[in-house]
Copies of this chain bind each other. A is one copy, B any other.
Amino acid sequence: MIDRLIERIEALEAPIVVGLDPTLEMIPERLKQGDSLEAIAGALTKFNREIIDAVHDLVPAVKPQIAMYERYGIEGLQAYVATAEYAKSKGLLVIGDIKRGDISSTAAAYAAHIGGTQVGRQTLFPWAEDAVTLNPYLGGDSVTPFLDVCAAQEKGIFLLVKTSNPGSGDLQDLRLESGKLVYEHVADLVSGWGEGLVGARGYSKVGAVVGATFPEQGRALRARMPHTFFLVPGYGAQGGSGKDLRGFFDANGLGCIVNSSRGITAAWKKNERFGENNVGAAAREAVIAMKNDLREAIS
């Protein structure tokens, strides 16, 4: 998964993942069909299809945030799966932003997200993701089942290291007796977990989530984790910009993929040139603008 991701980033010159985190506010009225969970799920799926149709030739991956679907129950999650499957059918990699984490036997069940699930003699893939995000608070045995999947299949994981939100400091920024900060210790654990899973391009299938909102920490982590690919949230709506991201990339202009959600998917609402019939055109323009902005970080 990681080698293919890097290859696609290079081919498209776009270290960009489009976050598919739709809210009702960003969905045009013409796609809405009523006030039921089923109708809302239908609107989420249709909206995502328009975004995917508009950007699939520009970016390597999409990242649906499962919470935005889970809030609408079973019907919402059907839209999540339909979105992931549609994105795959368009050649996109799918990074499921699920942030799961649990003790070993339970983690093995969650690992079905990327590893599939045994049903009789078949392995089914009910979630259709190529990679997922994970939470490290439960420690190594909560990650092992995912490492096993990554070893056996072309799949990947991204562990939370330093998240983009203001509250991330409550726990992640505490200083340990050893002198390390908590997130630095987690970074070292993540590097270690990924050691045996480094691909042809020098990056591991075990990546890290590092928020764009903390440029200094991002730069330091880039140096600390030379074989760990970064998934970078917090660009755009959360405040990070291209120049803040300079330190997140390696000397070859690789090493991270930057997420933008609302900045792309709700772009049609932000400029009066667009209207509710131009969801895709606005998204496409926003991706191209982001690509240009990120050139500042790479060059």
Contacts and interface: CB of A to CB of B under 8 A. Distances in A.
B177 A37 contact: no
Interface string A71-113: 1111111100100000000000000000111111011011011
Interface size class of A (residues with CB under 8 A): 35 or more
A270 interface: no
A67 interface: yes
A142 interface: yes
A197 B90 CA distance: 48
A109 B71 contact: yes
A9 interface: no
Contact of A174 (B103, B142, B182): B182
Most buried by B among A67, A119, A160, A174: A67
Contact of A126 (B21, B73, B140, B185): B73
A224 interface: no
Interface stretch (A49-57, A130-138, A198-206, A245-253): A130-138
A100 B99 contact: yes
Contacts of A175: 176-178
15 contacts: A35-B120, A35-B122, A67-B107, A73-B81, A74-B81, A103-B164, A103-B165, A135-B138, A136-B137, A138-B163, A138-B171, A142-B167, A170-B189, A174-B182, A175-B176
CB-CB nearest 9 A-B residue pairs: A73-B126, A35-B120, A139-B167, A139-B170, A141-B167, A103-B165, A71-B112, A67-B109, A71-B109
Interface of A: 21, 34-37, 40, 65, 67-68, 70-78, 81, 99-104, 106-107, 109-110, 112-113, 117, 119-122, 124, 126-127, 135-142, 160, 163-172, 174-178, 182, 185-186, 189, 233
Given A67-B107, A136-B170, 17 more contacts: A40-B119, A67-B102, A67-B109, A70-B112, A70-B113, A71-B109, A71-B110, A73-B124, A74-B77, A77-B77, A137-B137, A137-B171, A138-B167, A170-B189, A174-B178, A175-B177, A176-B176
